[in-house]
Amino acid sequence: MSATTLGARLAAPARPAPLWPSGWAAGLAWLGAAAVILLLPDADDLGRTAELGFLAATLGGLLLLAAIAAAVPALGARLAPLRAAGPWLLVLALALLAWELATAKLDWLPRPFFAAPQSILEVFTDDYARLGESVGRSLLLVLPGYLLGAAIGFLFGVAMGWSRLVGYWAHPVVRLIGPLPATAWLPIAFFAFASSRGASTFLVALASFFPVTVLTWSGVSAVSKSYYDVARTMGASPWFLVRKVAVPAAMPSVFVGLFMGLGASFSVLVVAEMMGVKAGLGWYMQWAQGWAAYANMYAALLVMAVMCSSAVTLLFRVRDRLLSWQKGLVRW
Amino acid sequence: MVSGARLEVRGVSHAFALEKRALPVLQDIDFVAQPGEFVALLGPSGCGKSTLLRLVAGLEAPSEGRLLVDGAPVTGTDPSRTIMFQDPTLFPWRTVRGNAQLGPEARGTLAADAPRIEQALSLVGLASFAEAFPHQLSGGMAQRAALARALVNQPRLLMLDEPLGKLDSLTRLAMQRELAALWERERFTALLVTHDVEEAVLLADRVLVLSDRPARICADIRVDRPRPRRRDDAGLVALREEILALLGLAEAA
């Protein structure tokens, strides 16, 4: 074999194996779930059973098509991201099947506390207008509140970590009021803010403020003294030390705070929307609970989980860009 | 080219405050480094050599005594007095170039100093690694990057705090040669802290031997050998034996 052909062989990218077993298994599992949903009679009178069955069947069909396409070299590489999700797609099909059997088909779990999958689908198809408006209103509450709390928390944390005086006075206060539940703030929030929008933004902001403050503060105070020494010998001003030494060195810790604050902001949404608003996911959940419409509640919960995890994904993307220097230093 | 600074250390004593008790580390240190002179401070580890450098750098103020650079008292840090630590202490979030431009950036002279940054990087042989992050560098390369970061500031007094202490022996030998060549070209005043006797006599014009803590100067030895020096130079070998004897480490004849 000549050197050039050997080089060409080495340079060829690793092709994924033509057979995609978990893809085949997932496709068949979704088709099986569809068959059970469509063919087995419901134990009670439920809507949207057929639609759910068709959805599952469509997904199963598409997965089988993808599994066939994976064998074609040109398409195999493009399907690589989907291949990684294969085992999860299989498990999800089995979970849907178990859920469908336990609720709609065999009635093992008592309704209305446990909703059947098609009931939740029914919420999306029939109540999408109100649910959609609630998503919009919640986003308009959570995003500004979170960003405001995070921004103030960041500045506060830097000040606490940098200045001994600020740290002395702020540390005990933050430690004392930080862990208080959001509901404890309701009376004060009502009193302090004229509008219910201001009050609920305050609660959401408070929820993100605490973790961002604490983690920024601990990040800044953990910065190695020798970094400051190096910068000082080169003529750095205190302001330069804060901006170009303390803050970048604390960023990994700040992102942990931003991440924790995001979860906290979403979880106070329900409390924040107790305050006289007429739409929003938290409001929707409470309203649904009041009418014992648990399927609606689960649907709203599902939407909220998807929203929160999308926000976390977005945050991770930002972190990966900003902290790419950490690659190779920590397990990524 | 910038001329070296004249450093006067006059009766400097220093003590650390340790839980109500003062721990003396430097006792009545008194010497003058002429402009462009290469002075090595040699002593057992933990004797207070590094503390002396921190005082000269202006990072701390001495308990007693005076420090003068070109006749002016040291009141704080100044870019003309740059220190290079035992650890490279590169900022991990900056590339090699980002680290090298730290000084000009801090003083707001980045645009004017841009050519000097590239020059310093190629001087230490890191031009092709300018975009690399510190964790991608070997120990020797990281220390070279730290050297470039110091040189960008055109120091008139360069303090070297055991800068080669943590390198493997081969890299260490190579970097000793590079440091000697660099000093001969730039002629800044150099203050090298080391506990390696061979390194001290190879690089320095003068070796100040310090005692155990609290450190006093117990010998001021002039190294009058021609440069470039060879490690096996008979004069250097004899000096090394002499200094080892002073430290109580002479090999039995």
Distances (CA, A) of B180 to A13, A23, B27, B172, B241: 49, 65, 30, 12, 22
Closest CB from A235, A240, A329 relative to B135: A329
Contact predicate A116/A299, CB 8 Å: no
In chain B, the residue whose alpha carbon lies closest to the alpha carbon of A234 is B79
Least confident of A189-198, B20-29, B208-217, B244-253: B244-253
CATH number given to A128-322: 1.10.3720.10
Question: What pLDDT shows up at residue B251?
Answer: 61
| Domain assignment present for B42 | yes
Q: Which two tokens stand for residue B93?
A: 């979030």
| Domain assignment present for B172 | no
> Which residues does chain B have within 8 Å of residue A249's beta carbon, measured at their own beta carbons?
91, 93
Question: What pLDDT shows up at residue A92?
Answer: 94
> Which residues does chain B have within 8 Å of residue A232's beta carbon, measured at their own beta carbons?
59, 77
Question: What pLDDT shows up at residue B123?
Answer: 85
**How many Å apart are CA A322 and CA B139, to the nearest integer?**
25
Q: Residue B200's domain is classified under what CATH number?
A: 3.40.50.300
Would an 8 Å CB–CB cutoff place A130 in contact with chain B? no
Number of domain units in chain B: 1
Closest CB from B58, B87, B92 relative to A325: B92
Scanning A178-197 for CB atoms below 8 A from B yields none
Residue of B50, B96, B102, B156 for testing the chain A interface, max A β-carbons within 10 Å: B102
Question: What pLDDT shows up at residue A177?
Answer: 83
Q: What are the pLDDT digits (tens) for B2-13?
A: 688 899 899 889
Q: Do B102 and A227 touch (CB under 8 A)?
A: no
Question: What pLDDT shows up at residue A9?
Answer: 47
**How many Å apart are CA B28 and CA B196, to the nearest integer?**
24
> Which residues does chain A have within 8 Å of residue B99's beta carbon, measured at their own beta carbons?
none
Does the pLDDT of residue B96 top 50, yes or no? yes
Q: What are the pLDDT digits (tens) for B45-82?
A: 777 888 899 999 999 999 989 999 998 899 888 888 99
Cα–Cα nearest to B164, from B86, B226, B235, B232: B86
Q: Do A226 and B85 touch (CB under 8 A)?
A: yes
| Domain assignment present for B10 | yes
**How many Å apart are CA A18 and CA B141, to the nearest integer?**
45
Task: Tell me the mean pLDDT in the region B90-110.
Answer: 91
Closest CB from B82, B87, B94 relative to A234: B82
| Domain assignment present for B221 | yes
Question: What pLDDT shows up at residue A46?
Answer: 83
Domain parsing of chain A, residue ranges: 16-107, 128-322
Q: Do A233 and B133 touch (CB under 8 A)?
A: no
- Report the C-alpha dihedral over residues A118, A120, A122, A128, rounded to 10 degrees: -150
Question: What pLDDT shows up at residue A123?
Answer: 87
Would an 8 Å CB–CB cutoff place B93 in contact with chain A? yes
Give B253's pLDDT tier (boundaries 50, 70, 90).
very low
- Beta strands B21-33 and B7-18 are antiparallel
Q: What residue numbers bound the domain in which B252 lies?
A: 1-80+191-253
Cα–Cα nearest to B207, from B247, B252, B166: B247
Q: What are the pLDDT digits (tens) for B215-248?
A: 888 888 888 888 888 888 888 888 888 888 888 7
> Which residues does chain A have within 8 Å of residue B79's beta carbon, measured at their own beta carbons?
233-235
| Domain assignment present for B229 | yes
> Which residues does chain B have within 8 Å of residue A325's beta carbon, measured at their own beta carbons?
92-94, 133, 135
Scanning A245-284 for CB atoms below 8 A from B yields 245, 248-249, 251
Contact predicate B95/B133, CB 8 Å: yes
Q: Do A240 and B106 touch (CB under 8 A)?
A: yes
| Domain assignment present for B169 | no
Quote the minimal CA–CA distance from A224 to chain B in Å: 9
Instruction: With a threshold of 0.90, tell me whether the complex ipTM lies above it.
Output: no
Residue of B74, B80, B91, B117 for testing the chain A interface, max A β-carbons within 10 Å: B91
Contact predicate A215/A264, CB 8 Å: no
> Which residues does chain B have within 8 Å of residue A226's beta carbon, measured at their own beta carbons?
85, 87, 89
Would an 8 Å CB–CB cutoff place B82 in contact with chain A? yes
| Domain assignment present for B117 | no
Question: What pLDDT shows up at residue A58?
Answer: 94
Q: What are the pLDDT digits (tens) for A35-55?
A: 999 888 888 888 888 899 999
Q: Global pTM?
A: 0.81
Which positions of chain A have pLDDT values less than 50? Answer: 1-11
Question: What pLDDT shows up at residue B55?
Answer: 92
| Domain assignment present for B98 | no
